[in-house]
Chain A
Amino acid sequence: MKRIAGMTWLVLALHAGGLSLPVQAADTPAAAAAPVVLPPMMVEESISSVPWLHVHAGGTEFLSRCSAYTTRQFVEAWLTKVQLLRVLVPEEFQARMDVPAVCVLYGQDLKQTVSAEIQRELQAGEARNGDSPPGSRVNIAPNMRLSDRDMHATIVYIDEAMFDGSNLSITAGHVRYILKGRVPDLPAWLVEGIERTYRRADFVLDPITLDPLVWHSQGESDALASDPTRPRALLPANELFVTDALRAVENQHPRRLETRASEQELFFRWAFVTGGPTREALWKFAVRAAEGPVTEEIFEASFGFGFSELRDRLSDYLPTAVEETAWIDPGRLPPLPRIEVERATPNQIARVRGEWERLAIGYVQRRLPQVREPYIAQARRTLRRAFDAGDRDPRLLATMGLCEIDAGNEGGAREFLEPAIAAGVVRPRAYHEVARLRFADLRRGVPETKLFSFTELAPIFYPLRRALTQAPPLAEVFVLLAEAWARCEMAPAAAEFAELETGARLFARRPTVGFPIALALARHEKKAEAVAVLDASAGYATDENTRAGVTRLRAELAAALAQPPADQVPAALP
């Protein structure tokens, strides 16, 4: 297992070629004292003569400034690792996105990845604040993943002289991202268990190798391996599978938290390594656990035994887990899709590169707002180049519209988004943004209690319902749909009620989705259904406001249900 030392630990947010610059994934909050990590800015075509290459394979668009050989090697390696990951986590438990992911490969000098404008801005800021010299608090990540609600993008620095595709690995952070993006939401215990297992997995030389489990610490693990009868604390299964909301209020003793983290990994490892029916039971159970709170009956329906038996089995497996290296036969992998490396068109360069640069805006806004403008300017420049040349590809237009929204120019976004959705672009967020802007226009200047006709709301419903046909399902689409129906004079038809109920089912773990849906259902005399939605999501409320709102609405609806039909609509949002 020493072979890891020589491998390139890469990925969607990866790090190729042995770079020493820090990598900061977009979804990882930066520590207060840690240097701010900025996304690299790619060198303009006017400065670099290296051509862009393009590959579209496996649901990802690759834009590369590396050689065709390196690009192909990278894409093949990447797709292979994705296939291996599916051995560990079946595809149905990963995020599904109809919008292709974006991956930009580059290989120029890293010094060229910070624009002069940004450097000037940083120096000016530091001079104003008397801060330490430039470069000591801001780094440029050579590799980074940035994500939006309906897609994600990665930029990868490759030192072609050192690159070896076989050493490519997907980072645990990316695995977490694709697990967290799955709809319906996977329970936290499963996501964390898989992620921790993955951190100890090696997909490089002997696919797939799980190194011995570390239980709390290496010392504790060694002690358990040498004395299988050593006392050990495990959480009972009903506490292991508890909802996030209950986790938040349970005993937070460090040893308990440590036990939880280790046991989540132990459970996943046990079920996965045992294989056969136990592995099948795990995924059957995972499906049920994603739909709602876990009960012993649900668990037993999958595994054939109860919670107490599970605790015993995990406890008995623990001494083995801390000692054994498990080899998982991935079986016969499907053939890779055809990979064609071609010279990128101006449209592809603008779209893919522009998408990356657009995503960087939001990231920089959160981390270092004073350098936001150069990133906005860079993204606009890239996207405009194709637009000004007459390109009206709806994907380009959607990206441009979203870029304007991210830049805070909502007014300017619609001129791009409206034609994009009119052309049927695959971009759920674009539809949502258009609907949101239209609904805001409709509500502007009218009382909150005013109801609208279906005709008035149709321009909002239309894009939202189009968004529902694309993956991933967005929570905000269902929320907006519910809010629109709550303001509609006319009751939804059966199919439209079904859409709301789908939202409640897909996002059962999110009371912020369930609550407006329940309001809309209650508004249109579906009180029993509204109560069911609230009941399903009540256990997941993590903050007091949401909990109080759900409880209040639940009580109002229960009271209404107990009375003869009334026209009363439960009151406002919490």
Chain B
Amino acid sequence: MRLPHLCFFAASVFVAGLSRAASFDDRVEALFRPPLAEMMALSPEGQRVAYTTQTGRGLAIVIMNLEQPGPRRRVIVDPDRDAAFAEDQPPAQLRFLRWATAGRLVFAPTERVLPLPPVAAGKGRSVPNPDGPTIFSPIMAVDADGKRRGTLVDARDFTETPADARRTLADLLRTPMELAATRNEPIRWRMPHLDILGFVPRDREQLVIETRGGYSMPAQHLVDIRTGNVRSFGGNWPSPPVEPQVFDWFRLKVVGERKDGVRPATAWRDDELGRVQRELELKFPRRAIEILDWSETRARVLFRVTGGSDPGRVFVFQRSEDLVLEILRRAPWLSAAKLNDTRFFEFDAPDGAHLSGYLTWPGKPRLNPPPLLVVFPSGFPGRAQAAFDPEAQIFADLGFVVARLNHRSVAGVKAEDLTALRAAVDRVAVDDVRAAIEWIAARNPDRPFDRKRVATLGRGFGGYLAVRALQLQPTVFRSGIAIDAPMDLRPWLRPPETVGVAPRAKAGRDIPAALIDHEGADWKKLSVLEQAEALTNPVYLLVEPARNAAIDVATDELRARLKGLGRAPDHLELDAGFAAARPESRATVYRRIEEFFNLHLHGYAVKIGPAKEVE
């Protein structure tokens, strides 16, 4: 008689489990979906906005009318993009997006360069192809109503042949293809890169571009954005400055500079924009304001607001009305009510260092008080933590209070910190985290966290610090997660010069090597590996194999040593999808991390007793 009930119960549990898993996957997918409006542009009269949006691996531009809001026009950037080409390339991006006039938008996808295959040079040898490469560098335009979309010019339109290939007057008038057709021998050719320099101020229907990298000297041309007709341009138009400088495309001058700091900031050289920045900061207290674009008269200003729990919103400041028009949420698929409360914090540590970061409180804690997860930045001093972090939301969903810290030197290493950092960068960082924990506890008496359940997490150098924290302060930090982390700094900072190693082995080392790698460096004291016996608390090592040889070797060695000590660490091989933030890969890994914490941090079986600090 009981069996049917049991079956029903079991089935219910199974269904509930499936439902929860699907829900978690959906949550990860939603949190890691690329946000809208990576690039944006406001039309010269301020009536229209264009912004980018990812469509799978592709990219689209959305055009909206602010005066008569209605259906938004959606334009696929490159519908003919070769599928095979797209597969192993990062998602499409734009390198240029600006309104030429009130009704015509000019945009350009990031340039793609396809080298031609090597050619045989006899005796089985192959040499680089003397032609090419093929460069895809389309400059495109579309009307505000989505019509008349097309490529104005592309690199192939400027294909060049060597000067000596044109022997006659008639040759000078032939295109490279026509020239090749007239010859029996092959004609060499190259495609130049196309750089966009801007619009002619008095005639914004003329786009100024520059070709470079072909056979000839760099040359400037005017492209008619209505017809795509090209004519040579006698001027010597300067190249517009790139980030961090902010350029006024109407006044053709640099008006400000983006600054790295604990929060995004812009140092404005233009008084008017500086005033607008201050006005907007008053309207959005505790948020970061980033002015993105403005209309020709500056009566309307496009800006982005980030901070708090929100992934970000974009507004147009209508200055004559003193109104801020919200035009889009960067992640409208995320319900604000379901996002965990995130706040920026900053304070001065006991030694006077200014420390900062973000604190995310779980909306639905699983334990009372909830555990604390400290997330180290991935580099040193690294870049400031982003105001919105999908991963922090995931861990808050799992019941953690998540503290994402900026290093003390994030706005630049101070001279007074240099000695301590050069001597023991790990200790300085871990001490700062301890100070932060004390400060958070003191400032939030009504929101306590479990001081006995503090875990660490980091990737790269941050992962190294996450493990060093367990070694240096085992009574404070009870378990840790290290993702692609160097367990031994010396081989990581000094990778052997080997031929054929992909450059990505060196990438991601967001740390000034000289800070650590100097004559007085005590490598043993800095090494996790060399102090393996001090690693008494549970650690989870997540590594993408073959991403970095030094990390692979040190991780294997650490695992072996810990196993020898009877404390074999948990280990997970990551696939490439994790680093690329592919949702399915992330969801799998976060589930495994959840299991790790359930076992080693949350579980009732966990015995948290006195531990010995190892110096």
Nearest-Cβ distance from residue A502 to partner chain B, whole angstroms = 32
Does B285 reach chain A (CB closer than 8 Å)? Answer: yes
Residue from the list A228, A234, A316 in contact with B336, Cβ < 8 A = A316
Nearest-Cβ distance from residue B432 to partner chain A, whole angstroms = 26
Residue from the list A232, A238, A253, A256 in contact with B285, Cβ < 8 A = A238
Does B495 reach chain A (CB closer than 8 Å)? Answer: no
Q: List 15 A-B contacts (CB under 8 A).
A: A229-B328, A231-B69, A231-B328, A233-B323, A233-B325, A236-B324, A238-B285, A253-B323, A256-B321, A306-B286, A307-B284, A308-B308, A309-B308, A312-B308, A313-B336
Does B318 reach chain A (CB closer than 8 Å)? Answer: yes
Q: Which residues of A contact B318 (CB under 8 A)?
A: 233
Nearest-Cβ distance from residue B287 to partner chain A, whole angstroms = 5
The list of the 10 closest CB pairs from A to B, nearest first, reads A251-B322, A236-B283, A253-B321, A233-B323, A233-B325, A231-B327, A308-B287, A308-B284, A316-B336, A231-B325
Does A239 reach chain B (CB closer than 8 Å)? Answer: yes
Does B313 reach chain A (CB closer than 8 Å)? Answer: yes
Beyond A230-B69, A236-B283, A306-B285, whether A251 also contacts B336 by CB under 8 A is: no
Majority secondary structure, B binding face: mixed
A233 touches B66 (CB 8 A): no
Q: Which residues of A contact B320 (CB under 8 A)?
A: 253
Alpha-carbon distance between A311 and B318 when the two chains are bound, in angstroms: 17
Beyond A233-B318, A308-B285, A313-B336, whether A259 also contacts B308 by CB under 8 A is: no
> Which chain B residue shows the least CB distance to A315?
B326
Does B309 reach chain A (CB closer than 8 Å)? Answer: yes
Q: Which residues of A contact B328 (CB under 8 A)?
A: 229, 231
Beyond A233-B325, A313-B336, whether A307 also contacts B285 by CB under 8 A is: yes
Beyond A236-B283, A312-B308, whether A229 also contacts B323 by CB under 8 A is: no
B321 touches A239 (CB 8 A): no
A312 touches B313 (CB 8 A): yes
Nearest-Cβ distance from residue B190 to partner chain A, whole angstroms = 46
Alpha-carbon distance between A313 and B325 when the two chains are bound, in angstroms: 15
Alpha-carbon distance between A253 and B319 when the two chains are bound, in angstroms: 11
Does B282 reach chain A (CB closer than 8 Å)? Answer: yes
Nearest-Cβ distance from residue A511 to partner chain B, whole angstroms = 25
**Interface, chain B (partner A; CB < 8 A):** 64, 66, 69, 282-287, 305, 307-310, 313, 316, 318, 320-329, 332, 335-337, 341
Nearest-Cβ distance from residue B331 to partner chain A, whole angstroms = 12
A309 touches B309 (CB 8 A): yes
B326 touches A255 (CB 8 A): no
Alpha-carbon distance between A175 and B77 when the two chains are bound, in angstroms: 56
Alpha-carbon distance between A255 and B324 when the two chains are bound, in angstroms: 11
Does A305 reach chain B (CB closer than 8 Å)? Answer: yes
Nearest-Cβ distance from residue B74 to partner chain A, whole angstroms = 13
A-B contact count (CB 8 A): 80
Q: A233-B321, A315-B326 are in contact. List 12 more A-B contacts (CB 8 A).
A: A223-B69, A228-B332, A231-B328, A235-B323, A236-B284, A238-B282, A239-B283, A253-B321, A259-B323, A307-B284, A312-B313, A315-B313
B287 touches A232 (CB 8 A): no
Nearest-Cβ distance from residue A279 to partner chain B, whole angstroms = 16
Nearest-Cβ distance from residue B415 to partner chain A, whole angstroms = 36
B286 touches A231 (CB 8 A): no
Alpha-carbon distance between A236 and B313 when the two chains are bound, in angstroms: 14
Q: Which residues of B contact A230 (CB under 8 A)?
A: 69
Q: Which residues of B contact A316 (CB under 8 A)?
A: 329, 335-337
Alpha-carbon distance between A313 and B284 when the two chains are bound, in angstroms: 13
Nearest-Cβ distance from residue B28 to partner chain A, whole angstroms = 22
B283 touches A253 (CB 8 A): no
B285 touches A312 (CB 8 A): no
Nearest-Cβ distance from residue B263 to partner chain A, whole angstroms = 13
Does A324 reach chain B (CB closer than 8 Å)? Answer: no
Q: Which residues of A contact B327 (CB under 8 A)?
A: 231
A308 touches B307 (CB 8 A): yes
B322 touches A312 (CB 8 A): no
B321 touches A251 (CB 8 A): yes
Q: Which residues of A contact B313 (CB under 8 A)?
A: 312, 315
Alpha-carbon distance between A232 and B325 when the two chains are bound, in angstroms: 5
Nearest-Cβ distance from residue B494 to partner chain A, whole angstroms = 46
B308 touches A232 (CB 8 A): no
Q: Which residues of A contact B321 (CB under 8 A)?
A: 233, 251, 253, 255-256
Residue from the list B287, B310, B322 in contact with A256, Cβ < 8 A = B322
Q: Which residues of B contact A306 (CB under 8 A)?
A: 285-286, 308
Residue from the list A231, A233, A296 in contact with B64, Cβ < 8 A = A231
> Which chain B residue shows the least CB distance to A231?
B327
Does A250 reach chain B (CB closer than 8 Å)? Answer: yes
Alpha-carbon distance between A500 and B69 when the two chains are bound, in angstroms: 55
- Please encode chain A, from 223 to 258, with 1 for each CB lying within 8 Å of some chain B CB and 0 for all others: 100011111111110110000000000110101100
Alpha-carbon distance between A229 and B37 when the two chains are bound, in angstroms: 14
A238 touches B69 (CB 8 A): no
A308 touches B66 (CB 8 A): no
Residue from the list A229, A250, A259, A309 in contact with B332, Cβ < 8 A = A229
Nearest-Cβ distance from residue A267 to partner chain B, whole angstroms = 16
Alpha-carbon distance between A307 and B285 when the two chains are bound, in angstroms: 7
B66 touches A231 (CB 8 A): yes
Q: Which residues of B contact A223 (CB under 8 A)?
A: 69
Alpha-carbon distance between A386 and B93 when the two chains are bound, in angstroms: 90
Q: Which residues of A contact B286 (CB under 8 A)?
A: 296, 306-308
Q: Which residues of B contact A256 (CB under 8 A)?
A: 321-323
Nearest-Cβ distance from residue A319 to partner chain B, whole angstroms = 11
Alpha-carbon distance between A223 and B323 when the two chains are bound, in angstroms: 20
Q: Which residues of B contact A239 (CB under 8 A)?
A: 283
Alpha-carbon distance between A313 and B341 when the two chains are bound, in angstroms: 13
- Please encode chain A, from 58 to 86, with 1 for each CB lying within 8 Å of some chain B CB and 0 for all others: 00000000000000000000000000000
Alpha-carbon distance between A309 and B340 when the two chains are bound, in angstroms: 12
- Please encode chain A, from 260 to 274, with 1 for each CB lying within 8 Å of some chain B CB and 0 for all others: 000000000000000
> Which chain A residue shows the least CB distance to B36?
A229
Nearest-Cβ distance from residue B65 to partner chain A, whole angstroms = 9
> Which chain A residue shows the least CB distance to B318?
A233
Nearest-Cβ distance from residue B577 to partner chain A, whole angstroms = 30
Q: Which residues of A contact B323 (CB under 8 A)?
A: 233, 235, 253, 255-256, 259
B326 touches A234 (CB 8 A): yes
Q: Which residues of A contact B322 (CB under 8 A)?
A: 250-251, 253, 256
Nearest-Cβ distance from residue B53 to partner chain A, whole angstroms = 12
Most buried by A among B285, B325, B337: B285
> Which chain A residue shows the least CB distance to B308?
A309
Alpha-carbon distance between A223 and B71 when the two chains are bound, in angstroms: 11
Q: Which residues of B contact A251 (CB under 8 A)?
A: 321-322
Q: Which residues of B contact A235 (CB under 8 A)?
A: 323
Q: Which residues of A contact B341 (CB under 8 A)?
A: 305
Most buried by A among B64, B310, B323: B323
Nearest-Cβ distance from residue A262 to partner chain B, whole angstroms = 12
